[in-house]
Structure 1
Amino acid sequence: PIAASSMKLLNKAGYNPKLLKLKCCGHDQLWQGDVQTFEKLKEQNIKLIKESGIKKLVTSCAECYRTFSKDYELPIEVIHISQLLNDDKLGIKTDAVVTYHDACRLGRHMGEYDAPRNAIKAAGAKIIEMEHNRENAWCCGVSSMMNCDDKSKAIRKTRLDEAKKTGAKVLVTTCPKCLAHLSCMKEELESVEKYDFEIKDLSVFLAEQIGGE
């Protein structure tokens, strides 16, 4: 859904992007210390990118944006999709009320806090900030997920509780791992506590506002 939504948004904004058959960016392999596998993925991806002739690489994933920007030596510009959609290019208006979760890779690592918020506001949505946001935003805890223990769950519950306090009906994020990690905890918790909001990727949220076009 994220890839299809991203293409829908780019088309709506007047872009006709090439969809490259890239491998995984290798973020997890690199951070796990499997440098050999990362270098293989990197080599294959750089080859495909160079052969494609593209001048800009657009990604909707915060981790991919960080990895292609910092860990690859690419001769082209790497852009997060929110940076292309932070004005009125989409021509959509919604009265949705959302809160935004700053993904660590997009925020702390890349310093991008404004573009996703501007993209949401450009669509007409109202943002209610959580108590901890931008540079002070709490992590979703995905780096502690390997054991999925009480500590990992406590991190996730704390963030979900912050989102709940805003009264927003949608929690928007730009990281698939934040999306999966928070959604998993929300589903588990709702057997005893109600969290009356949806969790959505930014591209999916914006594409839904376009409707069936």
Structure 2
Amino acid sequence: MPSPDQSASGETDTEPSRAAVRRTYEDIGDHFSKTREYAWPEVESFVDEAGGVETALDVGCGNGRHAELLAETADAVVGLDASRALLRAATDRVGDDVALVQGDATRLPLAAESVDLAVYVATLHHLPSQSARRASLDELARVLAPDARALVSAWSTAHDRFDASPDADEGFDTTVDWTLPGGETVPRFYHIYAPAEFERDVADSDLRLVSLELSSGNCYGVVEPEGKRT
């Protein structure tokens, strides 16, 4: 069961705004980026299997660790994040190899069908309402080319830090503290997805779920734009 600071899934009066979530990462971004050095193995496998592409997108690029990986296989890479602090760290890491943009995952500043490969990892769960999460999935579908695929991840009830059943039908909202070097703690909003709920949100979007894997306490979904594949 969720702990006392966890609420039911869906929009509530106590949810933070997306602006508040962004401010969290402005506050912790410099320290946070120093702890995120390496690409996740699941992302490495996905990118390796995709092979070379023309244009790739990293939604929620953070310090650029996965955008850097995409730059090894794509002619052009766009990295998008809401946090200026994280984008500064990404600039230091990827330089001119990636076009870095401050933006909102629910309103991607890209043309329709312009992306051949995308990763959207460890970001969906920070959007504080179901409507925003589903809107971001629709936006991902909009910018993906007909034959493109993306990897979407979110924390799951399967994670061993949560007292929740991975077989639950609904996830829950919670906060997880980030501790800065001086000892100050900053709460970070998360929506923890039940795997069935993750599948349902993808199904209710303009994406089609190609495969779903539970790994390291996360849902990893390979998705493609529904109805556009040639």
Give the alignment's TM-score, normalised by structure 1.
Answer: 0.33
Q: Which structure has the highest strand share of the two?
A: 2
Larger gyration radius, structure 1 or structure 2: 1
Q: Which structure has the highest helix share of the two?
A: 1
